[in-house]
Structure 1
């Protein structure tokens, strides 16, 4: 089995070495490169073509946000997980909007980071569980006309309502109660939403909506 090739971009040497030791305890991961700043991260991303990049935000010289922007603009295929101390929605919103596939806090358990790496490597976005509520707060700031929404996704008006409630973290039973419809009907709407957005779970649906400005 091919190992997931990981690059670590962080200005703290001990953090990089510690992460390397943690990740290489996993049978399916190997750390192939380390970068102390954004410039080096971009250079090594081009040279080494890692599967996943762990990107700190605060680094000297070029910071992580600038590095993410350039890596995405250069169409480097590496998936990016932001690994940061920042637990506010401003950074979460900005990095996801820029194209990062994951967001994990530095005080998370190692198992969370390992799960995040495996998820994004498999094409599934990963937002640390306690940060998903911050997405909802940003959802409420975004406006888009129903016509534009429908043209973008082909979701019905009812499906848009269900999507917004999914983004709020409601389960099917709660959505049914809120919309005065049966739980079976909600389940059908959720299945249609997943199919139309080409996602496989509720978190991915919320992230898709967030990145494409599909919620009120």
Structure 2
């Protein structure tokens, strides 16, 4: 099989390039052909890989729009959310596949190939596949986990705890826990100083989406360049 042409869809360059780095040993099977965060997917690609880091989840308008794009062969959502009801909603929203961000690179590549040929659509790993934190994200070098970094990115974007919970499909208590552990990691004690720290350390997206209120599936999305 020829190498799959993949467009990465995420608003953070460090996250997108982290996925590229994760796939660097598989260039004979996966070729990333679009990495410009400030334009829509306009080159014919086999897969648009939608990374949910600090963005909307796969059951929202952006994935619905990607699925309607004739330049994209298949839309695959790449997420930590493993809730079966949520995954079913994502597939109903037009996604062709769903892949756990806990998969190692070899399993990610195999999952994308399987989705491309139309076999298994959902790839979550299993008891014999260790969960990994691969790729990259803002604040990793400061000791932040990807989940902590995601919450801090959403705080830096100006979202409230309730909005972050809705965006990530996590409980308010989980959000508060991530905020506390994040504050400890970056040595701040207030939301204001956390936002300032985030601005100084790359937690503002490289592309800005206007999503308040968020459009329903099928509604046009407005974007502006950062």
Superposition TM-score, scaled by structure 2 size: 0.47
Structure with the larger strand share? 2
Quick one: higher RCO (CA 8 Å, sep 6+), 1 or 2? 2
Structure with the larger helix share? 1
Task: Please say which structure displays the higher CA radius of gyration.
Answer: 1
